[in-house]
Every structure is written in C-alpha cells, then in structure tokens.
Structure 1
C-alpha cells in the first residue's frame, strides 16, 4: 500500500512518521503539512518526499494517514476519500457532528476503507480484554477515567496544542474512554448528566442500550501523580478491570495500519471505522451540550 502522511505536529513526528517509514508492508510515499518547512524536515528525517500540494500527494498514494487537528482532519480526510483514497484517521474524527457526518458520507460514497486509531483498541492485551467482556452478559455499571497532566507539567508539553487547549479533555481523551465502553456495554441511549470539575475536568453519566449505566471522568489538568487511565466494569460476572501496562503507541499504530490494509483488501468495515468515529463524536457533542 502506498501511503502518505497529512500532518507534521508532535503526534505525526513522534509516532506516525516513524511507524510508516518502518512498516514493511507500506510504501511511505510522502508527507504534507500546513507548514511546508515542517513537512520538509519530517520528509528528510525519514527519507521520503515533502509535498506542497495536498492534491499532488493524493494523486500518488492509495491511502493517507491523518495526524491533524480534528476539524482540519475531517475536511481533508473527506477530500482524500472523494479522491478514492483509503483513510487512517486519528481520534476524534471531528469535533462537530456535521463535520463527522460529512466525512462518513464521503467514505461511504467512495467505498473506501477507513480505520480510526483509538490507541487502546489496537493494544493486544486490551483488545483481548474488550472482546472477553463483550462476550460476557449482565454488566450492571462501568466507570472509565482518563486523567492526564498535559496542562500541568512543568514546561510546555508537546501535546498542549491549540485545539486541545480549546476543546479540553472531553474531546482529547473522551474518545479513548468511549472506544472501550461502547463495544462492551452497547451504544449510548442517553447522556443523563454532565458536570465540570477542576480545570478542564469533565464528569458524565451515560445510559447504554444494553441496560447498564456508566460514568466518565476525563481530565488533562490532573496532578502528575494522579494521572493514568482505567476502566472498571461490575455485573453478574463480578468485577473486571482493563489491564494496566505501558502503552506501545507505535506498535498499536502499526496494527492500525494493518487493519486498514485488511479492510481495503477485503472490503469489510473495521469495528473502528469512520462511522464508529462519528458515533463517538455524536456522544461527545451531547455531553458538551449539557455542559
């Protein structure tokens, strides 16, 4: 698969570009960014080409990996899909329902493959745990917390980007929490409540179609000593907790690339496709509306 990278920010430089360059089953054709000088630096570092014109890159590839702010991503990924290119997306796919819906419509009309890189879903141990809990029955309640210290670390975190400062933890780490809860507890029937906490902290209560309820606690302004992520489920089967361990983002992205290749080859949608990404956006928008 010939693949291009859209984006030159921290996530693109630290994870996307190295993974695409090292992947044995893709040809990393080139990179485009809104800052041409940054695109040139990334391209030089990984022995590929920098593109000034995004359409020129689209003409040379089978697929694109998108590492851009979500609403920039939504427009450019839809453009790539309309050009017949498969899309590897980052979360959230958009921060408006309209933007996410337009992206899904472009993907569906063009009949291209799409995969959204929800990191936890591509970690082997976590994926096996999610599958095991999805097969179980009788879940009563769940709690997911994703607490980061992006805005409280000494110095500037590379991830304290403008869009995260604007949209906060709800949109940055909320997708991670939902990506774990939804396959296990079912779709969200209703966002029952939402409240703000310290800094950008958000609490939300969800009612699921499977009959269970869940709560979310999300923050990028937690003290460093309190940061971390976890999911706990309680029900007829007892108590189950998402396995803890280091997050191998590069390995997870490599598996997401493989998932995109498989979906493009087989024509079957991946569980984390653009439509799932849109559903996550819709739920987050409902929480935001209550806030």
Structure 2
C-alpha cells in the first residue's frame, strides 16, 4: 500500500514517519505539512519526498496517515476520503461532533477503509484482555485513570496548543473510552463531569448494559503520579488491564496492518471512523456538562 503522511509535529516525527518508513507492507511515498521546511526535513530524514500541495500527495498514494491537531485532521480526512484514499487517523477524530460526522459521512460515501489509532487497542496484551473481558460479560462497574504530566514537565514536546485548549478530556479521554466501551458497552449518558486540579476531569458514565464507570483524566499530574490503569469488577471478579511490553511505534505498525486488512477485505475495523465519532460524541457531552457547571 502506498501511503503518505500529513503532519510534521512531535508525534509524526517520533512515531508516524519512522513506522511508515520501516513497515514492510507500506511504501512511504511522502510527507505534507503546514510548515514546508519541517516537511522537507522529515521527508529527507526518512528517504522520501516532501509535498507542497495536499492534492499532489493524494494523487500519489492509496492511503494517508494523519498526525495533526483534530480540527485540522477532520478537514484533511474528508478531503482524502473524497479522493478515494484509505485513512489511518489519530484520536480524537475531530474537535467537534459535526467534524467527526463529516469524516464518517465522507468515509461511508467513498467506501474507503478507516482506522483510528487508539494506542491501547493496538497493543497485544491489552487487545487480548479487552476481547477476553468483553466475551466474559457480567461486569458491574469499572474505573479508568489516565494521568500525564504534559503540563507540569518542563518543555514537554506534547504541550501543544490544541492540548492546552482541549485538555485531558480530549487528549487522554479517548484512550480510556476505547478500553471501556467494548467491555462495558456503549454510554447511555454522561451522568456527571467534575473539574479537578489544572485540566483534571472526573467523569461518571452510565453504560447501556447496566454497568457504570468512573474516569479520572489529567495532563497536569505530578510526574511521579503519572500513569494509566483500568480496573473492572463484576461476576467474574476483578480484572485489571495488563501493561504491554510493546511501545507506541509497535502499536502504530499494528494499526497500519489493520488498515491494510480492512482495505483488502472491506470489513470495518472495530476502531474505525464510526467508533471515533461515538467517542467524540461522549467527549462533547462531558464537555457540555463541564461548561454548564462553569457557567452556573
């Protein structure tokens, strides 16, 4: 599969470009970025070509990987799908529900494959654990915490403008939801959303299967307190999400494998754009509750 990359930021440099260049099932055709100089530097580093125009890159590829802020991603994804290109997208799918719906509509109309890179879903041990717990069923409640120190560590590469604007809810919230939804079921409603220190938020979710869950999300945790974990309790007892020996680069490689498979056989992946839309809808509902609380 011939693939191009949209984006030149930290994630594109640290993960996307190296993975696309090394992947045996991909031909890394080139890079487009909003900063042409950065695009050329990244392309030169990986022996590929920098493109000044989005459409020129789309004309040369079968698929694109996207590593840009969510509001930019939505517009580019619609444009790429309209050109008939398969999509390896980042989370969150878009900065608004309307933007996410536009992506899903474009993917559906063009009949292209889509995979949203929810990192945990593409790590081998967590992936197997999620499938096992979903099969077991009978879960009563769950708790997820995703705590980062992006805004407390000095000169953190991921303290980007969109993360400062959207906070932990939109940055690490998708990771937590990507684990809880396939195990506990869809969310009927966000029962509560409360702010904590910095950008910290606490959510209470009511799931369609009758279970409830709580989420604690932050990018302003002290470095010593950072980390993630998921625990669920039910008829089978207590189960905890296992850690993985694999890293984000390995996970992205598996996401690329999933995109190739979906493009080849036409079967949607569980983490496709439609799932990305559902996650976006839940984030927006929680954000609305937080905004209403601030206004009150």
Task: Give the TM-score of the pair, scaled to structure 1.
Answer: 0.99
SS of the counterpart of 2:209? coil
Evaluate the alpha carbon distance shift between residue 166 and residue 209 of structure 1 in structure 2; reply closer, same or farther with a 3 A threshold.
same
Residues of 2 paired with 1:258 and 1:273: CA distance? 13
1:96 and 2:106 matched: no
Aligned position for 2:65: 65
Structure 1's unaligned 5+ residue stretches are: none
Aligned position for 2:24: 24
Residues of 1 paired with 2:246 and 2:230: CA distance? 15
CA RMSD of aligned residues (A): 0.6
Residues of 1 paired with 2:258 and 2:85: CA distance? 15
**Once the two structures are superposed, what CA deviation does each residue of 1:34-55 show, in whole Å capped at 9, x if it has no partner?**
0000000000000000000010
Matches within 5 A, 1:128-277: 128-153=128-153, 155-246=154-245, 248-277=247-276
SS of the counterpart of 1:176? helix
| Conserved? CA contact 2:124–2:246, under 8 Å | no
Residues of 2 paired with 1:246 and 1:289: CA distance? 37
**Once the two structures are superposed, what CA deviation does each residue of 1:95-145 show, in whole Å capped at 9, x if it has no partner?**
200000000000000000000000000000000000000001210000000
Aligned position for 2:114: 114
SS of the counterpart of 1:98? helix
**Once the two structures are superposed, what CA deviation does each residue of 1:135-174 show, in whole Å capped at 9, x if it has no partner?**
0121000000000000001x21000000000000000000
SS of the counterpart of 2:61? coil
Residues of 1 paired with 2:197 and 2:185: CA distance? 29
Residues of 1 paired with 2:75 and 2:144: CA distance? 30
Q: How far off its partner does 1:247 sit? A: 5.1
| Conserved? CA contact 2:124–2:244, under 8 Å | no
Structure 2's unaligned 5+ residue stretches are: 291-296
Question: How many matched pairs?
Answer: 290
Q: How far off its partner does 1:250 sit? A: 0.5
Residues of 1 paired with 2:25 and 2:179: CA distance? 28
Residues of 2 paired with 1:247 and 1:147: CA distance? 19
| Conserved? CA contact 2:30–2:48, under 8 Å | yes
Residues of 2 paired with 1:117 and 1:138: CA distance? 28
Superposed structure 1 runs of 4+ greater than 4 Å apart: none
Residues of 2 paired with 1:88 and 1:102: CA distance? 16
Task: Give the TM-score of the pair, scaled to structure 2.
Answer: 0.97
Matches within 5 A, 1:33-44: 33-44=33-44
**Once the two structures are superposed, what CA deviation does each residue of 1:222-247 show, in whole Å capped at 9, x if it has no partner?**
00111000000001100000002455
